Amino acid sequence: MDLAAALSAGSSPVLQIPTSNDLKAVMRHVAGTVSVITAGSESDRTGATVTSATALSVEPPTMIVNINRSSSTWPVVARYRHFCINILEAAQQTIAERFSGKDGIKGKERYEGAGWTVLATGAPVLIGALAAVDCEVEDVIERHSHAIVLGRVAGLSFNGGSPLIYSHGKYHAVTS
């Protein structure tokens, strides 16, 4: 029995040498707020759906996001040295799916069907997002398959609402 099957069956296996699939099975149990990372400008813009965006510090205001280096988003973030973390509201699942690339949609086509603006850095900001955190790239740590990107907060936008959450391979709305 592999780890995913064992976890589904409710047992608590201990693995001495876990595989990447074992780690994925464990991490599916972590609920994360869904954000769309955006970067670029005009026809040279792209983005990705992530659950790996969080605050690194509040003094100074700094965010951290992990971006797969093989994604179409990474070279644009590296080139423009900016990104925006658009925290999605519960009703914005369609936008999350569009930016996930699951239907093969890439680049500027991911922006269709939604309103966009910019704040301080010029990175695209989703109009109507629960919140947006506009960042200048401060530092990058490249490790294994991902770039760990530290961004100094340059601007904020907040509309409020309930966040879109991702857990166990599905989107969920948080209700109060």
Counting the structural domains of the chain, the total is 2
E strands, 4-145, in order: 32-33, 35-41, 44-50, 54-58, 61-68, 82-87, 116-118, 124-126, 131-143
Number of residues that make up the chain: 176
Q: Domain check: are 15 and 37 in the same one? A: no
Torsion of CA 117, 86, 84, 142, to 10 degrees: -160
For 93-115, letters b (16+ CB in 10 Å) and e give: bebbebbbbeeeeeebebbeebe
Looking at residue 174, its pLDDT comes to 84
- CATH number for the domain harbouring residue 99: 2.30.110.10
pLDDT digit string (tens) for the chain, length 176 residues: 566 666 666 667 676 788 898 888 888 889 999 999 999 999 999 999 999 999 999 999 999 999 999 999 999 999 999 999 999 999 999 999 999 988 899 999 999 999 999 999 999 999 999 999 999 999 999 999 999 999 999 999 999 899 999 999 999 998 76
| Per-residue pLDDT at 3 | 63
124 and 60 in a common domain:
yes
Determine the pLDDT at residue 15.
67
Same structural domain, 11 and 68? no
Q: Same structural domain for residues 35 and 59?
A: yes
Q: Which domain holds residue 13?
A: 1-30
Question: Do residue 76 and residue 124 come from a single domain?
Answer: yes
Please name the residue ranges forming H helices in 62-142: 73-80, 93-100
